[in-house]
Amino acid sequence: MKTIDKIYINGAFVTPKGTDLFNLISPTTNEKLGEVRLGNEEDTQNAIAAAKKAFVSFSKTTITERIGYLKSMQNAVRDRKEDLINVMVEEYGGTLQFATNGYSFLLQNFESAITVLESYQFTKTIGASEVQMAPIGVVGIIIPWNSSNGFISSKLASAIAAGCTAVIKPSEMSAMQTQIMAECLHEAGLPKGVFNIVNGLGTTVGAEITRHPDIAKISFTGSTVVGKLIAREATDTLKRVTLELGGKSPNIILDDADFATAIPMAIMAAYMNSGQACVAGTRLLVPEYRLEEVKGLIKSTLEHTKVGDPKESDTNVGPMVSQKQYQRVQDYIKIGIEEGAEVLVGGLGKPEGLEKGNFVKPTVFVNVNNQMRIAREEIFGPVLSVLTYKTEEEAIEIANDTTYGLQAYVSSTDTKRAHDVASKINAGRVLINVLKHDPLAPFGGFKQSGMGREFGVLGLEAYLEPRTLLQ
Ligand code: NAD
């Protein structure tokens, strides 16, 4: 049993003023792992005050100094590799495969921020003016539970690179992961108040960050519903807002694709992070005349997809993070059946032998049309909808017929054709014949998948304000 009863403010682990306790429950066994003491509004105000004070000098640091801090953060994270991976498996139920992969992104986030800093021009000449890119101020970082430390590292690395200070509010369900990350960042020896971390609920800590006049910008990753709420609230103080929200990503398999490679890859795209991924490719679009072949390939791929204990290195799909999330996925499978879609694999209930945890059966629906709720709404679990198309134009039309636009996938053996199709998809990122991340390219959503971009130069500029000097 772990008790997390400290938050991190002004360079120190302190006892929060808030006294409410929140149980940390294992997604794998539903046994209690520990509890976290939650911060309240006053704790948030103290964290914001510390970040505001630190901003005065941190905003004036040189590029070399910031690179030094980013390197120290990276080194501290490198020293705790096993702990960071294991805690994600234990507390979140992320598979060892996913947590290990996620750990390498975590390190890479610091590296990318350094790379951008090394060549970024903070002072430019535009027209007849000198334009200074100035750090925006104190940043509020509000993040979800599905890759908690990954989000802390990517957002904080950009904020530090820009010369900003930060108050971070992770999900209350990620307290054990947050604790280890906070210990790493503490080790890195940044000046007091540059980053502060407050465990707490969205409606208390998150809401205080959103309304507080001393927060200049919010970088939020989470659901579209909460993102809209934050954007609305932030208007009162005209905070800058970057929103990374949900998705219902289409995966177009063109008729000339190598199906034996593309279909197993499509299953990986749908079930990555046990389906709890904003970029999951959850709408698989296949040529109508090849549907039977696709069904066969899906079934044979799923025979080799292991659901189970996330600690085991060959597990592909772990439990859902909470009983609530488990129930949400069950509800959607039920909705799909009621809408008339056909369950090709999986279905309702828990897989045999895995009754204790929040495990769902990886599920694939066929006979889905794009108006069904299982094709339109983000489920956030291992549920894939297969849709068919007759022509390439129809495939693009279906792909774009969504309120979301975070990511899309295209497979074809003809790279020019795939490139042309990808260029017609309304999504922030389109992956062609690969499952990859580019840490220097912009990432973010079209439409209701978000606002603004993260990573690379555009990601850095989201933490800067241009100041034009004309004489
Ligand atoms: P969520 O929106 O419920 O919560 C996200 C964060 O916002 C949490 O820290 C939460 O406490 C906080 N919050 C909740 N209410 C708030 C309020 N009123 N004011 C301020 N903060 C508040 O999301 P979740 O359930 O934790 O995560 C799943 C969602 O995140 C999915 O919809 C998924 O698509 C999305 N997501 C998006 C990306 C992306 O990069 N686009 C990445 C991962 C997850």
Q: What is the set of domains in the chain, with CATH numbers?
A: 2-245+447-469 (3.40.605.10), 250-432 (3.40.309.10)
Gap between the Cα atoms of 407 and 277, Å rounded: 11
pLDDT band at 324 (very low <50, low <70, confident <90, very high): very high
Gap between the Cα atoms of 458 and 441, Å rounded: 8
Q: What is the pLDDT of residue 365?
A: 98
Mean pLDDT of 78-96: 98
Query: What sign does the CA torsion over 75, 80, 86, 88 have?
Result: negative
Distance of CA 321 to the CA centre of its chain: 14
Tokens of 346: 């999986």
- Give the residue, by CA position, lying nearest to ligand 1 atom 35: 222
- Give the residue, by CA position, lying nearest to ligand 1 atom 31: 223
Residues 6 or more apart whose CB falls under 8 angstroms from that of 8 comprise 14, 182, 185, 186, 195, 196, 197, 198
pLDDT at 386 over 90: yes
Q: What is the pLDDT of residue 155?
A: 98
CB 149 within 8 A of CB 171: no
3 state DSSP class of 128:
coil
Mean pLDDT of 6-28: 98
pLDDT band at 1 (very low <50, low <70, confident <90, very high): confident
Identify residue 130 by its one-letter amino acid code. E
297 Cα–ligand 1 center, Å: 34
What is the share, in percent, of the chain residues with pLDDT greater than 90? 100
DSSP H helical segments within 15-147, as ranges?
41-58, 63-79, 81-87, 96-119
323 Cα–ligand 1 center, Å: 17
CB 84 within 8 A of CB 78: no
3 state DSSP class of 344:
strand
Q: What is the pLDDT of residues 325-361, one digit of tens each?
A: 999 999 999 999 999 999 999 999 999 999 999 999 9
Gap between the Cα atoms of 404 and 426, Å rounded: 9
Q: Which of 98, 142, 455 to mutate to test the pocket of ligand 1 (most atoms within 8 A of CB)?
A: 142
State whether the beta carbon of 171 lies less than 6 angstroms from ligand 1: yes
Q: How many CA atoms lie within 13 A of 427 on its CB side?
A: 32
Give the position, in ligand 1's atom list, of the atom nearest the Cα of 246.
34
pLDDT at 83 over 90: yes
CB 266 within 8 A of CB 315: no
Give the position, in ligand 1's atom list, of the atom nearest the Cα of 144.
26
Angle, in degrees to the nearest 10, between helices 96-119 and 63-79: 170
3 state DSSP class of 409:
strand
State whether the beta carbon of 143 lies less than 6 angstroms from ligand 1: yes
* CA proximity to 441, closest of 463, 423, 460: 460
Query: Strand order in 407-411's β-sheet?
Result: 342-347, 361-366, 383-389, 283-287, 250-253, 407-411, 429-432
Identify residue 438 by its one-letter amino acid code. D
Average pLDDT, the chain: 98
State whether the beta carbon of 320 lies less than 6 angstroms from ligand 1: no
Distance of CA 263 to the CA centre of its chain: 24
What is the share, in percent, of the chain residues with pLDDT greater than 70? 100
State whether the beta carbon of 309 lies less than 6 angstroms from ligand 1: no
Q: What is the pLDDT of residue 31?
A: 98
Q: How far is CA 346 from CA 354, 357, 459, in A?
A: 14, 17, 39
State whether the beta carbon of 146 lies less than 6 angstroms from ligand 1: yes
Distance of CA 388 to the CA centre of its chain: 29
Q: What is the pLDDT of residue 41?
A: 98
State whether the beta carbon of 443 lies less than 6 angstroms from ligand 1: no
CB 268 within 8 A of CB 284: no
Q: What angle do CA 248, 415, 397 make, to 5 degrees?
A: 35
pLDDT at 404 over 90: yes
pLDDT band at 96 (very low <50, low <70, confident <90, very high): very high
221 Cα–ligand 1 center, Å: 6
* CA proximity to 442, closest of 424, 460, 464: 460
Identify residue 344 by its one-letter amino acid code. L
164 in active site: no
Give the position, in ligand 1's atom list, of the atom nearest the Cα of 229.
18
Q: Which residue has the tokens 């072949």?
A: 293
CB 249 within 8 A of CB 427: yes
| List 90, 91, 208, 278, catalytic entry | 278
pLDDT at 234 over 90: yes
224 Cα–ligand 1 center, Å: 8
pLDDT at 291 over 90: yes
Give the position, in ligand 1's atom list, of the atom nearest the Cα of 201.
11
Mean pLDDT of 388-400: 98
Give the position, in ligand 1's atom list, of the atom nearest the Cα of 170.
9
Mean pLDDT of 17-45: 98
- Give the residue, by CA position, lying nearest to ligand 1 atom 11: 202
Mean pLDDT of 155-165: 98
35 in active site: no
Q: Which of 98, 221, 230, 329 to mutate to test the pocket of ligand 1 (most atoms within 8 A of CB)?
A: 221
Eight-class DSSP state of 4: E
CB 38 within 8 A of CB 22: yes
Residues 6 or more apart whose CB falls under 8 angstroms from that of 367 comprise 340, 341, 342
Q: What is the pLDDT of residue 286?
A: 98
3 state DSSP class of 417:
helix
Pairing of strands 7-9, 2-4: unpaired
Mean pLDDT of 375-400: 98
Adjacent-strand bridge partners of 409: 251, 431
Q: What is the pLDDT of residue 99?
A: 98
Q: What is the pLDDT of residue 409?
A: 98
- Give the residue, by CA position, lying nearest to ligand 1 atom 9: 171
380 Cα–ligand 1 center, Å: 12
Gap between the Cα atoms of 382 and 266, Å rounded: 12
175 Cα–ligand 1 center, Å: 15
Give the position, in ligand 1's atom list, of the atom nearest the Cα of 227.
2
Angle, in degrees to the nearest 10, between helices 291-303 and 259-271: 60
